[in-house]
Amino acid sequence: MTDGKIGMVKQCVALAEAIGLTPVMKQISVGRPWRWLPAPLWPDPIRALSTKGDILAPPWPDLLIATGRLTVAPSLAVKRHSKGRCMCVQLQNPGAASGQFDLVIAPQHDRLRGDNVLTTLGALHGVTETVLSAAAERFRDSVADMPRPLVAVLLGGPNGAFRFNRRTAERLGDDLAQLARRQGVGLLVTPSRRTPNDVIEVLRERLAGMTARFWNGDGENPYHGYLGLCDAVIVTEDSVNMVTEASGTGKPIYVVALEGSSAKFARFHNAMREAGICRGFDGRLEAWHYEPPNDTARVAAEVRQKLGLATV
């Protein structure tokens, strides 16, 4: 259960699939005034849901995986209505007493601790060797003419902590162009839904004449294919999800600094650097290796144990 934000959906689905389940997706919508209020102030969370989204009703599930502030009150309501038979797993810091849930999965940078809290290095994700290999095969021919090393460039966008504007795009474009000239790399650039159009335009201008390929949104998203085929990853610092997903490759990850700051993001990026996974991007490539974190598999094993399912 999520409010539909793609990053949240991906985390929930990744955990469900790692457990070995095919989930029923619930995208909820919450109207005023409830969306502004903390979970304890919702007198009837099930009835507070708007018909613009999915409705929650019996039969109640055996397992509910949810993430996002707006799912906290409905998750606890499902647990109550099921008389405790539904196991409720909440991803990320719920902003409510963690003891109310059967299990809370929180990244280290949230600084949440408790008897029923499992901490992870970053976000849960479904980037596995199997996924990467299959996607790489689908896109291999499309990059056969590109030089090596291949570098996947993952672009995020502005959020509550960071700005991604023309000035930053110009700096990034110049650094990427320098990398292409100095080391002869091929650049595979994939914008996200949050990437401003003017940022993409600036990068196209700065990389004109370089061996760079931009995904324009047509056809299948090459995101996993590029991660599987590349030799290194460059990713903007605004997305915990993208950085963590890139870590599933075991390949060098370079993080692009944006304008802005956040203590939580700083803690995350520091932890990734200390783990030997990421370094800052300064226009040059180096080579190093690390063991991809196995947080999703570890959490899935814990959930299966609590559900009384056999180990996979």
What 3-state DSSP class applies to 112?
coil
Per-residue pLDDT of the chain (312 residues; tens, 9 = 90+): 999 999 999 999 999 999 999 999 999 999 889 889 888 889 899 999 999 999 999 999 999 999 999 999 999 999 999 999 999 999 999 988 899 999 999 999 999 999 999 999 999 999 999 999 999 999 999 999 999 999 999 999 999 999 999 999 999 999 999 999 999 999 999 999 999 999 999 999 999 999 999 999 899 999 999 999 999 999 999 999 999 999 999 999 999 999 998 999 999 999 999 999 999 998 889 989 999 999 999 999 999 999 988 766
Quickly list DSSP for 188-239.
Answer: EEE--TTS-HHHHHHHHHHTTTSSEEE--S-SS--HHHHHHH-SEEEEETT-
Q: Let me know: does 148 contact 231? Beta carbons within 8 Å.
A: yes
CB 157 within 8 A of CB 256: no
23 — phi, psi (to 5°)? -80, 155
DSSP lists the bridge partners of residue 47 as none
Element (H, E) at 174: helix 166-183
In the chain, what are the domains? 6-121+298-307 (no CATH), 129-280 (3.40.50.2000)
Strand 253-256: give its sheet, edge to edge. 212-214, 186-190, 150-154, 232-236, 253-256, 278-280
**Model's pTM, two decimal places?**
0.92
What residues are paired with 236 via a beta bridge?
A: 256
